[in-house]
């Protein structure tokens, strides 16, 4: 009996409950295997499961050179999202492994959570909720978004959606992107600008950028000092974009009025000083965790796997 080629599936949103799109892999003759349900696999688990697999539907776990070296049959890694910072791309190229991305599949979910966090910061919603449930009646004074300036660091699919939400709330929107889409000009209240100018003018700074090639934090002590006193910072992109110690210092000095986080390094975070700060709102990397985003991301990731494995030159 011929052994079916195997595909490993690891995204936590899928390993717990499965997904109908995975049936397309089985119907195409592949054996689908999973990591521990609902748990992000570590290197040891990947070293155990990935050898012998020809395809890999990957989540946000780190995929190291050691893992890729052990996966001698692996031909393609298909992410159920856009970011591939978690994969050692140089090691993958050296072994001829193609990396595919689910471009834009979770953009709407991340963008909506970003704006939800912005509203939660502006009106101290978590604080009010905790107070009332504890028998209190704390009524902090909030701010309105109309007339405020929203600064977007990164203006790809997610950033452009957030820009649209900001404009709908009568905000001024500034965007920094090293490769700006100049055809995106949704309003006279939207402008591309330099990063330093954005940091100096924005009331809310929202991060939607990849990691720098040198791996350094994009927002550290110097960047925070350029921000307006009393500004808010939102990171739904990548935990490593922030220097956590510098952000903590800016909160303690009240240079930052508040911070919202949906991405951490590592995940889950082991150092809870920033997460537990009273002026921080934290969510567990939930931006793409909507039913619609999960469906789109898995469907695109499965389609990418099938297209590549049927036609190895078809997806890059």
Please provide the size of the chain in residues: 316
CA distances from 187 to 20, 36, 129 (A): 40, 47, 35
Nearest 5°: the CA angle 137, 146, 141 is 20
Given a cut of 70, the residues of the chain with pLDDT beneath it are 1-2, 312-316
- Residue 163: the pLDDT is 98
Q: Which of 19, 108, 208, 285 is catalytic?
A: 285
Check: CB of residue 202 under 8 Å from CB of residue 149: yes
The pLDDT of residue 313: 54
Question: What's the CATH class of domain 107-282?
Answer: alpha beta
What is the model's pLDDT at position 269?
Answer: 95
* Paired sense of beta strands 53-58 and 76-79, if any: parallel
pLDDT at 312: 64
Q: State residue 1's pLDDT score.
A: 54
- Tell me if residue 19 is catalytic: no
pLDDT (0 to 100) of residue 305 = 97
Whether 283 and 39 have beta carbons less than 8 Å apart is answered as no
Q: In the prediction, which pLDDT does 148 show?
A: 98
- Biggest CA–CA distance in the chain, Å, is 70
Of 69, 112, 267, 307, the active-site residue reads 267
The whole-model pTM stands at 0.88
Cβ atoms 230, 253 nearer than 8 A: no
Describe the strand order of the beta sheet including 172-176 as a list of residue ranges: 190-192, 172-176, 149-153, 204-207, 231-235, 256-261, 280-282
Tell me, yes or no, if 254 is annotated catalytic: no
Q: What is the pLDDT of residue 316?
A: 40
Domain ranges of the chain: 6-105+291-310, 107-282
Residues 182 and 122: their CA atoms lie apart, in Å, by 30
Domain 6-105+291-310 has CATH 3.40.50.720: yes
Half-sphere exposure of 203 (CA within 13 A, CB side): 16
Task: Find residue 261's DSSP bridge partners.
Answer: 235, 282
Which two structure tokens, joined as six digits, stand for 273?
A: 């000083």
Question: The tokens of 113 are what?
Answer: 């959570």
Active site residue 267: yes
- For every residue of 62-103, which 3-state class applies, written as one string? CECHHHHHHCCCCCEEEECCCCCCCECHHHHHHCCCEEECCC
Same fold, 6-105+291-310 and 107-282: yes
| Tokens encoding 176 | 């920094």
Out of 19, 101, 108, 238, pick the active-site residue: 238
Which strands make up the sheet holding 98-100, listed edge to edge?
31-34, 6-9, 53-58, 76-79, 98-100
């Amino acid at each position: 009996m011929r052994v079916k080629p195997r595909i490993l599936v690891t995204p936590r949103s899928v390993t717990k409950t499965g997904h109908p799109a995975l049936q397309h892999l089985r119907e195409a003759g592949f054996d689908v295997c999973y990591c521990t349900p609902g748990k992000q696999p570590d290197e040891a688990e990947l070293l155990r499961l990935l050898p012998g697999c020809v395809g890999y539907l990957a989540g946000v776990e780190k995929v190291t050179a050691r893992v890729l070296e052990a996966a001698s049959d692996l031909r393609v890694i298909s992410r159920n999202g856009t970011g591939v910072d978690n994969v050692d791309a140089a090691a993958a190229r050296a072994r001829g492994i193609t990396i595919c991305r689910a471009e834009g599949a979770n953009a709407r979910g991340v963008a909506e959570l970003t704006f939800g966090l912005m509203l939660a910061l502006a009106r101290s919603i978590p604080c009010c909720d905790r107070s009332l449930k504890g028998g209190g009646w704390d009524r902090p004074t909030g701010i309105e978004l109309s007339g405020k300036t929203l600064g977007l660091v990164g203006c790809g699919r997610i950033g452009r959606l957030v820009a649209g939400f900001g404009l709908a709330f009568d905000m001024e929107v500034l965007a920094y992107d090293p490769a700006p889409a100049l055809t995106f000009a949704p309003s006279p209240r939207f402008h591309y600008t330099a990063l330093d100018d954005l940091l100096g003018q924005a009331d809310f700074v929202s991060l939607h950028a990849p990691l720098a090639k040198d791996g350094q934090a994009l927002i550290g002590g110097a960047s925070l000092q350029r921000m307006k006193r009393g500004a808010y910072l939102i990171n739904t992109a990548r935990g490593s974009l922030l220097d956590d110690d510098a952000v903590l210092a800016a909160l303690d000095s009240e240079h930052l009025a508040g911070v919202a986080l949906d991405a951490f390094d590592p995940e889950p975070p082991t150092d809870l000083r920033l997460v537990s700060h009273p002026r921080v709102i934290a969510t567990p990397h939930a931006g793409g965790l909507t039913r619609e985003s999960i469906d789109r991301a898995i469907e695109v990731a499965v389609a990418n796997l099938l297209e590549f494995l049927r036609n190895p030159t078809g997806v890059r």
